[in-house]
Structure 1
């Protein structure tokens, strides 16, 4: 199973989205408003006049209440089979390869610690985290930790604590993921690991 999704014809996105909109008694204008996507852009994407944007598809799937892979397939992306076995094999492939490792994530977090000490880094977290967070559907330990980390970041008066917490939040916000976020929930595996690493470091620092 490849982690790079390839687009293939035909595009059945228009029929799929319009069918779901009808079931939800939702207009295209409402969908545009809820997703923050210009209605004209959605229309062009549905008609095939504009290339399907993975980020837009993910946002639309959340608001329409359908699995994201359903829209990706309708748009002509080859996402493979959406089964647990595929997900497990995909994760194993990544974990056994050079593209995805705890060490690589720790290195990125170290870089982000310095950025989190700057006013630019702090402003980026404060402004962009709520927006990115809304794009993640569902509930669970990862999201609970993520939300708590943001709260702790805002409350902390320690530069060291804020740099540690900020590194994890920046990893999430800046989408440096090895696995694309729009392959949910697989796409948030390295985000979850980054958040856990940062939380563990924060706990050790706070216990000093």
Structure 2
């Protein structure tokens, strides 16, 4: 497991270095971290230091959560709970990193899908489908991070929360998107494969915030 996460981190950092036409020594000079320390950390020969990852992320112009994820760290432990932009920034960095365009992840098309699910989310059939299919699909995700934390929170609120019918409808449409929609990117490419689901969840949270402002 250590070798696997180290390989992921090494691959991610080296890819970002190539994008910036930067050498490891240049990165070391910018961050103030000895080049040998960076190399050992990337190779899994030294314990991952989250503060070092933050410095590296800063000079590679990406959100730190991208490196946390690659290093196998639990992202929720290193992200400010009050930072509502963390989820958006994290997945934006992955989109930029992988080369997927905004055309591939069309916000309006995802919004249209969510609105189509609104009516179904209010029915007993829709609720039953979520209860049956969500746990099954959730078990397929072997990872941690803001997206998964938000997804689990949405499900718990939908099933057990004391919320209004409107809130349940909005949450239900987001969960139905997760279990039913045809993904823009294959899900097996975690975390890349869940980018459209993450955007759907982000839109769902925005809809909930808009609703709360009106009540």
| TM-score with structure 1 setting the length | 0.55
Unaligned runs of 5+ in 1: 1-23, 25-65, 68-81
Partner of 2:192: 186
* Equivalent residues of 1:179, 1:187 under 8 A apart: yes
RMSD after superposition: 2.6
| TM-score with structure 2 setting the length | 0.53
Structure 1 residues 202 and 137: CA distance shift in structure 2, 3 A: same
Structure 2 residue matching 1:115: 3-state secondary structure: helix
Structure 1 residue matching 2:101: 3-state secondary structure: helix
Structure 1 residue matching 2:189: 3-state secondary structure: coil
State how 1:80-159 maps to structure 2 within 5 Å. Answer: 88=95, 91-95=98-102, 97=103, 99-154=104-159, 155-159=161-165
Structure 1 residues 146 and 93: CA distance shift in structure 2, 3 A: closer
Unaligned runs of 5+ in 2: 6-10, 20-93
State the alpha-carbon separation in 2 of the partners of residues 91 and 100 from structure 1. Answer: 13
1:168 to 167, 174, 177: 174
State the alpha-carbon separation in 1 of the partners of residues 114 and 99 from structure 2. Answer: 23
Structure 2 residue matching 1:94: 3-state secondary structure: coil
State the alpha-carbon separation in 1 of the partners of residues 100 and 129 from structure 2. Answer: 33
* Equivalent residues of 2:114, 2:173 under 8 A apart: yes
* Equivalent residues of 1:112, 1:167 under 8 A apart: yes
* Equivalent residues of 1:175, 1:181 under 8 A apart: no
Partner of 1:18: none
